Amino acid sequence: MRAAPTAAAGRPRPVTATAAAARRRRRDVGAAPGAAARRRRPARGATIHPVPETATIRARDGMPLLARAWPTAGDPWGTILVVHGLGEHSGRHDATGGRFGAAGLRATSFDHRGFGASGGRRAYVDRWADYLDDIEDRLAASRVAGRPAAIYGHSLGGLLVADYLLAGRPLPDVAVLSAPALGGGTVPLRALAAALARVWPTFTLANPWDPTKIARDPAPPVATDPDPLGVDRTTARLGHLLFRAMGRVRARLEAANGFPLPTLVVHGGDDTLVPTASTAFLERFPTTERRVYPGVRHEPHHDPFDGERIVAEVVDWLRARMGAPLTGDGGATGDGGR
């Protein structure tokens, strides 16, 4: 294990054997931004705007779903399915999907039922298993024969992917969870959602979105006003099912001692929508590596200062674990088998 460089001197910080063991599966990447970091300008010129292919497909129950595929640079060395979060849609991941595609991954996504351009009542689902069915079908459709498969879930998408991985369904080879919603919600809010789900399941509550909590510079594509495909309210039923899934995932993780495949967790150190501490328990599982990025908020991939680097590090991690061919600069630059 290599020591992380200090922010001030750029030299390795001494690591004791005890500290090394404690940090084996968790990294604080970088340092909290000081005055110099805060003065940095967002890397807007580096944003990738690929032209994805979109199509409307039918879920196994007939629900129309918007499917998306980003251009791939050359013959793909692997595939990755991007699973979006609450209130958003696959189009908000165009920059991330484009970077995956530019790195040689066949990157695809879809809008959840009830979100984006897919069918269904907004932010509502009859059965939570419908979401898992959709992931299973889109994962199967995204595969390329003879190539390894990855899945990437953000926020609610991270919770869905975590639940999927523990549900006995067909697995990809590796997984990446970005700020996965594995905890949160006050006791009164959970009780209210449960009660309303019984008597008024379609009742909606406003999502507590504040653009400044999503990224340090809330400009497009982080915040688009108005976003015609965005959903700013959530039904009581979906909220209740979401909270139940959090508990189920945690119980299954404890019972199984972690995920059944290599899993990378990336989380912003300043995330208040899905508190950074809510994923800390994942560090003790042997198949999981957790990386915390100081100063980054809820959407690491959209951070205007470090987002491009974070996605590149995710790609490096995928290369190291999916048996990808070496890159032109000598191979993956991530932290290997750590």
In three-state form (DSSP H/G/I as H, E/B as E, the rest C), the secondary structure along the chain is CCCCECCCCCCECCCCHHHHHHCCCEEECCCCCCHHHHCCCCCHHHCCCCCCEEEEEECCCCCEEEEEECCCCCCCCEEEEEECCCCCCHHHHHHHHHHHHHCCEEEEEECCCCCCCCCCCCCCCCCHHHHHHHHHHHHHHHCCCCCCEEEEEECHHHHHHHHHHCCCCCCCCEEEEECCCCCCCCHHHHHHHHHHHHHCCCCEEECCCCHHHHCCCCCCCCCCCCCCCCCCEEEHHHHHHHHHHHHHHHHHHHHHCCCCCCEEEEEECCCCCCCHHHHHHHHHCCCEEEEEECCCCCCHHHCCCCHHHHHHHHHHHHHHHHCCCCCCCCCCCCCCCC
Q: What are phi and psi of 331, to 5 degrees?
A: 120, -170
Q: Is 308 within 8 Å of 43 (Cβ atoms)? A: yes
Q: Is 279 within 8 Å of 15 (Cβ atoms)? A: no
Question: β-pairing, 204-206 with 233-235?
Answer: antiparallel
pLDDT computed for residue 211 by the predictor: 83
Q: Is 162 within 8 Å of 256 (Cβ atoms)? A: no
Domain that holds residue 161: 45-322
CATH number of the domain to which 165 belongs: 3.40.50.1820
Alpha carbons 5 and 27: distance in angstroms, whole number: 11
Alpha carbons 63 and 86: distance in angstroms, whole number: 19
Alpha carbons 247 and 97: distance in angstroms, whole number: 30
Please check whether residue 247 lies inside any domain of the structure: yes
Q: Is 179 within 8 Å of 275 (Cβ atoms)? A: no
Alpha carbons 75 and 296: distance in angstroms, whole number: 33
Alpha carbons 233 and 32: distance in angstroms, whole number: 33
Lookup result for tokens 């899905």: 274
Please check whether residue 249 lies inside any domain of the structure: yes
Q: Is 209 within 8 Å of 183 (Cβ atoms)? A: no
Please check whether residue 6 lies inside any domain of the structure: no
Contacts of residue 256, Cβ cutoff 8 Å, sequence gap at least 6:
166
pLDDT computed for residue 270 by the predictor: 96
Please check whether residue 15 lies inside any domain of the structure: no
Total count of domains within the chain:
1
Please check whether residue 85 lies inside any domain of the structure: yes
Please check whether residue 280 lies inside any domain of the structure: yes
Single pTM value for the model: 0.84
Please check whether residue 224 lies inside any domain of the structure: yes
pLDDT computed for residue 311 by the predictor: 98
Selection from 95, 83, 242 nearest residue 153 by Cα = 83
Burial class (CB in 10 A: 0-12, 13-18, 19+), 111: buried
**Per-block average pLDDT, block size 10, for the chain (338 residues)?**
33 36 51 44 51 96 98 96 97 96 98 98 97 98 97 98 98 98 90 95 90 78 74 96 97 98 98 96 98 96 94 98 67 36
Alpha carbons 138 and 136: distance in angstroms, whole number: 6
Please check whether residue 8 lies inside any domain of the structure: no
